[in-house]
Chain A
Amino acid sequence: MLTLQYIPYSDIEALPSSKRISKLLNVVKQNKIVLLEGRLRKTEEADLIKKTMEEIDAKFTGVELSVIYPENKDTLALFQRIKKNIINMLLGDRLGMTIIGPAAVIKEIKRDPNKIELLTNEISKKKKGK
Chain B
Amino acid sequence: MIQALRKLLDKFLNSLFKKKKHIKLGLYGPPNAGKTTLANKICTDWLGEEMGNVSDVAHETREIQIKEQISIKAKGKELSFNLVDTPGIATKIDFEEFIKAGMKKKEAKIRAKEATKGVIDAIKWLDDMDVVIVVLDSTEDPFSQVNITIIGNLQARDIPVLIVANKIDLKKSDMKRIESAFPQYKIASISAKFGNNIDNFYEALLDMVN
Contacts of A109 in B (CB 8 A): 145
Q: A42-B155, A56-B116 are in contact. Are A49 and B93 (CB under 8 A)?
A: no
Interface magnitude class on chain B: 20 to 34
Report the minimum CB–CB distance from A57 to chain B (whole Å): 9
Contacts of B119 in A (CB 8 A): 49-50, 53
Q: Flag if B143 contacts A61 (CB, 8 Å).
A: no
CA distance A45 to B120 in the complex (A): 13
B residues 166-181 touching A (CB-CB < 8 Å): 180
| Chain B proximity mask over A37-48: 1 for CB below 8 Å, otherwise 0 | 000011101110
A-B contact pairs, 29 of them (CB 8 A): A42-B152, A42-B153, A45-B145, A45-B152, A45-B153, A46-B123, A46-B149, A47-B123, A49-B89, A49-B119, A49-B146, A50-B120, A50-B123, A53-B116, A53-B119, A56-B93, A56-B116, A62-B91, A62-B92, A62-B93, A63-B91, A64-B91, A65-B91, A66-B145, A67-B145, A74-B183, A103-B91, A113-B143, A113-B180
Given A50-B120, A61-B93, A112-B143, 8 further pairs, Cβ under 8 A: A42-B149, A42-B152, A43-B153, A46-B126, A49-B146, A53-B116, A62-B91, A110-B141
